[in-house]
Amino acid sequence: MVVELDVSLGQDGARASIKRSQLFEVLKDKRPRRVGQEAVVVREITPGGLADVHPNPEAWLQKFFPQRLSNFFLFDGELMKNFFDTRVKGAIEDAVREIAGVDYFEDVRHKLEAVKTQIDKSIAKKSGGDAEKLRQKLHDARLLALKISEKIVKDKATLSGLEEELKEKEGIWKKFEDLAADANRSIEIQTEIVKKQLEIDEEEELFRRLILAAGPKAMISGGLEALRGAVESAQNAGTLPPPFNPQALQHLVERGTCICGADLSEGEGGHREISGLISGFEKASTVGKRLDDTARQWEILKAQVREQYRRITDTNKRFISLKDEKAKLAKELEALAERLIGHQNQSAADLGKRVKELHRQINDLRLEVAADEKSLNQELEPSAISAQNAFDEASKGQHELDGLRREASLAGELAQAAGAIHRVAIQLVRERLEESVSTKFKVVKSGSFVTRVTEDFEVITENADGTEAELSEGEKMMKAYIFSIALREVVGLSFPLIVDTPFGRLDEYYREQLAEMLAQLVSEDSAKSNRQVIFLMHDGEYTPYTKKHFDKVGPYESYLAWEVDEEKSNIGVGIDPDWFSVTAWKDWKEGKIK
């Protein structure tokens, strides 16, 4: 398969035809499998037609498209959501310098410094042997100071990278520590849940026993009114036994005395009275006695039911409370399990090792930088200044050298100015990037927040109170797209934004949200801009639900389909007709999806 594109690169009107061939083999089931690719072929397009094939196409492409910028111009959608999570600050700064051409001023500075050195050499030659020696000394001192300065800058950059990595790793490590605590808590909760369940089972069993004891009595209790009536009737009829225990009374009579001191011996009044009661009980009917027993027993049963119901109420309350506690524990356990899923001990061990190593490296490097800075400030720079003074003194008084000295001084000042311009240019690009990103992001995400590009080229979105805003996956991806477009605008690069699988692994909701935002972004201020966005999407990604958003900006749709029967690829304009066999696309065709 061959893909050939005519592209315009940069603003100087350079155009080229770029061709790349992919080699496929046809499998038994007639599906294609890529087996390799041929080298890219570049032919520049000149007013006279196509130029000859470029001898070194990769180098030619690099001229327009440096490798270190590829991360900002050719995207893999699946990685977009992590765009600002990875350590891209240095890469962004590099990209800005590269694209904005601000490194030119850095080159100028280096060249001017070389000129100054050359002039100093001439001065030394003309000044004689001592001046030459002093010039050499001055050169060595400057060189050493420069080397140490460069080493400090390099070490500081390394240190910054290591500190960044440590911050990131410690963040993850903190999560691992939390996970270890989570794991312990999970075990505790599981034990607590089992305990709670046992308590619930106990309460449930107690409830059942109590209800089985009280329930039947309560069900019969409707008959108590009849019992009361029968007792009253028997009482009126005198068939109820007297309210004494006849056996106990008989015992008193037999003993002839009472604990109260009354004389119960035969013939006494007390004896006669009690004997009368016993005789009354004997006369009471069997029915009366049984009725009396039943009524007395039911008073006991009522007291039992009262107590049992109170216990039932208590056990019910405990049961509900235990169930609630258990549900809370189960919920907590579920949340912990969610957090623990997918984490392995080995990755924790590796991470711990790396964190320890980073601490050691950072410590060593900090000590080294501090020592170098001390040496630079206290020894090397004073030594260079003193060498310069000595050299100036040695070459002084020679009239013809004054002109050269003025030139050397001018070259030095110009070199410093070039360095300052270089810094200002970077700052300017940063500010314009910030303005562009912030404005564009507001178009797609409403709310009171700002997106800033920091001194370190970190792209952060903050709420009104200065805290970092929480962004959804779709919004994070959108911010990355916006940054890329802003970069093009700020540095005036017209290379299109090309993204493979632009929605990555976003689910349907965020996919639609992102599609809407992208369409909005492309159409924003469209009269003035000439934004070109190329998305490469597969059939699972480009659905009628995403298309409806892109339709607002009039996309050019083209498809590439593998025709199994014909064993070849077909490229066509519009939507692949085969897609219309899918329900969603059928609905779209029938105008059901708007």
Partner 1 sequence: MSSLLKSTRSATSFDPDFKDFVAELRSLVKSPDGGKTASLAQILILTMSIGFQKGFKGPQSPRSNDAARLEYLDEAAVAQMRLVALVDQKSADVLEDDEAVIDIAEQYSNGGLVILRSEKESNPSFLSWLEKTLYHQTKSFYQDHLAED
Q: Residues in the site for partner 1, rule: CB under 8 A?
A: 205, 207-224, 226-227, 230, 233-234, 285-287, 290-291, 293-294, 297-298, 300-302, 304-306, 308-309, 312
Residue 127 or 308: the one with the smaller Cβ distance to partner 1 is 308
Residue 302 or 354: the one with the smaller Cβ distance to partner 1 is 302
Query: Could you tell me the smallest distance in angstroms from the CB atom of residue 194 to partner 1?
Result: 22
Query: Could you tell me the smallest distance in angstroms from the CB atom of residue 315 to partner 1?
Result: 11
User: CA 506, 508, 510, 513 torsion: positive or negative?
Assistant: positive
**Cβ atoms of residues 39 and 63 within 8 Å:** no
Query: Could you tell me the smallest distance in angstroms from the CB atom of residue 214 to partner 1?
Result: 5
Residue 129 or 222: the one with the smaller Cβ distance to partner 1 is 222
Residue 217 or 271: the one with the smaller Cβ distance to partner 1 is 217
Rounded Cα distance, 153 and 170, in Å: 25
**HSE on the CB side for 562, CA within 13 Å?**
15
Residue 223 or 492: the one with the smaller Cβ distance to partner 1 is 223
The set of residues, in sequence order, having a beta carbon less than 8 Å from that of 356 and lying 6+ positions away, is: none
Query: Could you tell me the smallest distance in angstroms from the CB atom of residue 327 to partner 1?
Result: 19
Residue 297 or 386: the one with the smaller Cβ distance to partner 1 is 297
CA distances from 552 to 515, 517, 521, 547 (A): 11, 11, 11, 9
Query: Could you tell me the smallest distance in angstroms from the CB atom of residue 308 to partner 1?
Result: 7
Phi and psi torsions of 142, nearest 5° = -65, -45
Identify the H or E element spanning 189: helix 129-220
Residue 65 or 309: the one with the smaller Cβ distance to partner 1 is 309
Is residue 121 exposed (0-12), middle (13-18) or buried (19+ Cβ within 10 Å)? middle
**Cβ atoms of residues 20 and 38 within 8 Å:** yes
Paired sense of beta strands 74-76 and 497-500, if any:
parallel
Query: Could you tell me the smallest distance in angstroms from the CB atom of residue 557 to partner 1?
Result: 58
Rounded Cα distance, 541 and 547, in Å: 10
Residue 115 or 218: the one with the smaller Cβ distance to partner 1 is 218
Q: 411-417 long-range CB contacts below 8 Å, 24 or more apart?
A: 411/112, 411/113, 411/115, 411/116, 411/119, 412/112, 412/113, 412/116, 414/108, 414/112, 415/108, 415/109, 415/110, 415/112, 415/113, 415/116, 416/109
Judged by DSSP in three states, 11 sits in coil
Rounded Cα distance, 316 and 303, in Å: 20
Residue 188 or 293: the one with the smaller Cβ distance to partner 1 is 293
CA distances from 247 to 155, 280, 464, 470, 584 (A): 110, 13, 94, 89, 96
Query: Could you tell me the smallest distance in angstroms from the CB atom of residue 198 to partner 1?
Result: 17
Rounded Cα distance, 571 and 34, in Å: 18
Query: Could you tell me the smallest distance in angstroms from the CB atom of residue 241 to partner 1?
Result: 13
Query: Could you tell me the smallest distance in angstroms from the CB atom of residue 199 to partner 1?
Result: 17
Is residue 513 exposed (0-12), middle (13-18) or buried (19+ Cβ within 10 Å)? buried
Residue 303 or 370: the one with the smaller Cβ distance to partner 1 is 303
